A and B are shown apart, each in its own frame.
Chain A
Amino acid sequence: MPNAPHISIQGLDVRYRTRAGWVTALEGLDLEVPPRSFVSVVGPSGCGKTTLLKVVSGILRPSRGRVLLDGAPLETLRLEGQVGFVFQRPLLLPWRTALDNVVLASEIVQKTVPRPVRAAEARRWLGITGLTGFEDRLPHELSGGMQQRVALSRALVFRPRILLMDEPFAALDEITREVLQGELLKIWSHIENTILFITHSISEAVLLSERVVVLSARPGRVLEILDIPFPRPRTEALRAEREFTELVEHIRGKLR
């Protein structure tokens, strides 16, 4: 099992140039993500949530500040194959079956692992995400929710240390979204990843995470960091509890 890292974000500024001039996406962001934790980032659109993921995955260099993984600066580490991504859209390859779409990731990361072993592992992940029996379907033969399950399997099959999720359920209908939220929690209890989860749904963040980071509109600054006290396993029933709605209302007030 991969050892989940402690992610430490310190004094992060991200500025980039657009046609209209310099834009500050993130400003003075400090954030601690303990190993194996589930941390959500909520904020209005354009608050630099996605920018934060890009910095943590090493795609984007910050203008100031640093990101440490277990105390080591990000840029000194080889991150390839240690980060799993799930995007808002499934982004599957339409010519590959569900199984082969999952195998795609291990083909790149685990080149030394024999092909049948990779296939078996991909099959196992499709089972965990509830797609047993759909391994040989092409993406267009699967519903949006099922496609996103394939994408989740693809992000986890090579045992990354970090899982980055960028509004993974935003494009799904409400019922599918709630089902997948529940399943993500179940899966998370079996794996040892540090999860950084981006969402614009406050209730989703509160339901899923141990820690919620509330960002302001651009430039993105941390408005508040809340630890979510509810015990696990959490279920949909939590939504009905007063403490839950109070937390959601509190965050909503912050964002207004």
Chain B
Amino acid sequence: MRTSARRLGGILGQILVFVSFFAAWELAVHVFGFKEVILPTPSATFVTMWAQRAYLLEHTWPTVIAILVGFGVAAVGGFVIAVGIAYSRWINEITYPFLVTAQVVPKIALAPLFLIWFGVGLLPKVVIAALIAFFPIVINTARGLNSVEPELVQFMRSLGASWWEIFFKISLPWALPYIFAAAKISMTLAVVGAVVGEFIASDVGLGYVVNYANITLETRVMFAGLLLLSLVGIALFLLVALVERYVLSWQPSVEAATPETM
């Protein structure tokens, strides 16, 4: 009872922060008299969002698909590489410098190159999203797999457990909290990647909408697109958090570690 009241208070507080932000924005536009092409009011942005809903929704799905496919490729690829790194010192040693280098290269700057390589369409978006999103998965999964108690592995070996049994019964579930922490980061990175791809190598998607509206100085549409992109990002993040909560329901700390509305 008391905790649910506190929780409700927390949610109200969170809503209040957003409302205050939009109110301050609205007020600032009126007080300082910004031209609409520089900064439209949030109310005008919402009106535009509603008026252009068909156009915006049409461009939402390609973006969502690009994000999800990019994230999926990053998750599967990152997991496989992480298993290699966690279990083979040799793989770890030879691949680690390359992985770090690949992470350091500004992938956003590669987007024009991918336009040349893959043309306009889903592929360049997915490639950029996956490249940006896979690194946290690799690092965290490898660390999670390596964090298993050695005595537990020793005990399993003394029972005659095979590598696969130890992996699926002990190591993988042990690493899951790490993997989900990484998945949440990666999902937000995949959003960034997909949008960058759409800026440069796409004629569909919210990234394209934002970029096109920017060129044509339709700032209201641009803001509507940005707002929708944010909502998509939040929704996908919450999706991962929800799966995490279900899969790791045994974990006592999930409640405490995740903000209440998430």
Contact = CB atoms under 8 A, between A and B. Distances in A.
Given A59-B154, A91-B151, A109 B160 contact: yes
A80 B154 contact: no
A96 B155 CA distance: 16
Given A94-B251, A95-B173, A81 B160 contact: yes
A104 B169 contact: yes
A252 interface: no
B252 interface: yes
Contact of B159 (A81, A93, A95, A140): A81
A57 B160 CA distance: 12
Given A138-B250, A140-B252, A85 B158 contact: yes
A83 B151 contact: no
A108 B251 contact: no
B173 A93 contact: yes
A105 B251 contact: no
Majority secondary structure of chain A interface residues (helix, strand, loop or mixed): loop
Contacts of B255: none
Contacts of B155: 85, 87, 91
Contacts of B173: 93, 95
B151 A108 contact: no
Contact of A59 (B149, B152, B157, B169): B157
Interface residues of B, number: 20
A80 B250 contact: no
A79 interface: yes
Contacts of A94: 250-251
A107 interface: yes
Interface in B136-154: 149, 151-152, 154
A108 B154 contact: no
Interface in B208-262: 248, 250-252
B156 interface: yes
B165 A108 contact: yes
A158 interface: yes
Most chain A CB inside 10 Å of its own CB: which residue of B152, B159, B161 = B159
B170 interface: yes
Given A87-B151, A108-B165, A95 B157 contact: no
Which 9 pairs from chain A and chain B are nearest by CB? A80-B160, A95-B250, A108-B159, A108-B161, A140-B252, A85-B155, A91-B152, A81-B160, A87-B151
Interface of B: 149, 151-152, 154-161, 165, 169-170, 173-174, 248, 250-252
18 contacts: A59-B157, A81-B159, A85-B151, A85-B154, A85-B155, A85-B158, A87-B151, A87-B155, A89-B151, A91-B151, A93-B170, A93-B174, A94-B251, A95-B248, A107-B169, A108-B161, A109-B160, A138-B252
Given A80-B159, A89-B151, A93-B173, 6 more contacts: A81-B160, A91-B149, A91-B152, A96-B250, A108-B156, A108-B161
Interface of A: 57-59, 79-81, 83, 85, 87, 89, 91, 93-96, 104-105, 107-109, 138, 140, 158
